[in-house]
Structure 1
Amino acid sequence: MQVGPGDALGAAEALTLIELGDRASVRAALKATLLRRHEQAEIFDAAFELFWRDPERAAAAAAFALMEAQKPEEKSKPGGRRIAEAMAGDRPKPPPPPPEEQPRQLDAAMTVSERERLQTMDFEAMSAAEINAAKQEIRRLVLPLDERPTRRFRTDPLGPRVDMRATLRATTRQGGEFRAILRRRRITRPPPLVAICDISGSMARYAQILLHFLHAVTNDRERVHSFLFGTRLSNITRQLKHRDPEIAFEMVSHMVPDWSGGTRIGEALEDFNRHWGRRVLGQGAVVLLITDGLDREGGRGLAEATDRLKRSCRRLIWLNPLLRYAGFQPKSQGIKAMLPHVHEFRPVHNLASLRELIEALGEKKRR
């Protein structure tokens, strides 16, 4: 949670208007002045309760929350590790141990560097500092797409086709004197890239990281369209085109009201097919569908909407963070309805999975 001087002054002024002896009033005043997004409420409540505990109990709770957040296989509370680090940061550091007479020699031959460890770490288990490092790595990623031929041609002296029309026009301009045969070549360009990302409660942490990926891709290439959905579909293409990521995400937060809410995948895909499919899915578009497949409606109408989306694009890639588990099986009704109607099914939970996706998009596929 980013709190600036203006927020602190607003919170201090709000505390002068209430009864300080009432903890509920203090909580409500601080939440009204410090919170900007709906998903920050749960983090604020956890930090508020942890702050007012006994110091020794708070230290033990912070250590326990830090240990729980480091478990990749178990889902911890949102922001648990960041809260533990924030609470632990104000305590005085213990004195350094006395230097040893004989320094120990460590064999680092089989150790892994910090950057390599970051590549395989789950986004859900990252701390605030590791998330910032991951965002920096995402901004360096380059997304190549194989170029596709279009219907248009351009003049090229070494082109494979004879441009008879241009040749006759040039002959006419020269008074009927024939000088040279003009040639042309078909114009090629990368296909459009369309990203449809789930921002429901189960996908909130992954969506925050993947938004940086979509922002970097949008500002790196043309014809990129981004959509977010929870209980409704929102087009954020124009907002992500802003060069400054903080300003772009601030605009997105004001535009999208259903962060960390429910999930209606079928209705969102049906809305996309009806209102946006013909606009953005032309010329062999590639679609990235980012969701865990856990639909609140139980998969109603999901198979038909996914099948229509598959038939409207050249390549439909489903990115699911649940594939990070080795024993994953498609048991939910939403996953069973969607899985037969996608071209590829890939994980998206760390930087390594994003790099594998980029390599897959760069491969040339046969028509």
Structure 2
Amino acid sequence: MRPICFASLLLLFSISAKAQTPGAGNVARPKLVVGIMIDQMRWDYLYRFNDRFTPGGFKRLIGQGFSCESTFIPYTPTYTAVGHTCVYTGSVPAITGIVGNNWYLRGSKRNMYCTDDSTVVGVGTTSSAGKMSPKNLWTSTITDELRLATNFRSKTIGIALKDRGAILPAGHAANAAYWFDNATGGWITSSYYMKDLPEWVKNFNNRKLADQYMANDWNTLFPIESYRQSTSDVKPYEGKLLGGDNSFPHETSKVTNNKYEAFRTTPGGNSITFDMAKAAIDNEKMGQGTSTDFLAVSFSSTDYIGHTFGPNSIEIEDCYLRYDKELAAFLTYLDQKIGKGQYLLFLTADHAPLEWRYDLN
């Protein structure tokens, strides 16, 4: 994995703590750690799209934070589940047990999905999408170690559209992990974590934000002719949005079949993830206690858009320009809610895409 730990950057936007005399009681600790994973982000996006990034988003992290530009963790394959697990455990597939998104069990002669768990049931859904847990993960995560170090006083929560993007970073001892359900258009979890959704999650789901985002067609943020870092809008080898086509404007308001599955492949998927992250911080009072809390947030729509349209598409460029604005707003929210200098945020990626060979021909 060549990171993406720059695209990962591993961008660390850290607390500004004064030097302290050694001793556990004197160590300045953040009230909240926010781990941001951008699914399928390449490090070069930070430079390709930099001219139109806002001062408060990626540029703020680069300018005020610390970037790990030569960080390598040697492993293969670089799938979503493996990348998330690698970052949050600091280990490799042979040790974590997460060797792919799926793998084959020779003993039982069947395929295994990384977070499948037949012993649990969905909470907030009746679909099989809820039958998930971290039981296939063999090692502890940084989030687990935080819970252990604070005698479980810290709260840890994982959030992502993809179940694996929420569950694996949150670890075994998480208070909760929430992921998006294609059947209901809401956030769900499993009985591994709880018997019923918290009232705030039910209220959040009742707002039907996915429907609201889909009601607004996806057009480019800027005039389409100004997207100089991308190839042409219409390419025969691009995929199509479910229920739509492969060119702007993407008329998401007209999508009826598999609407919530199509929603994942729009910038609205990132927006609702930011919304859910803020709702978790507000309602779970994260960063308000005496111990450091940890929110692990993964943004999955960047991956869906990348797989469908490619790394040189206008859709990807527009997605990251929009993401940058929302990232800036999220950092401002954290400044106000938790306090400047009171939280630690890192931003990384789980893997990156290769160039599409059609773009090279």
Give the TM-score normalised by the residue count of structure 1.
0.30
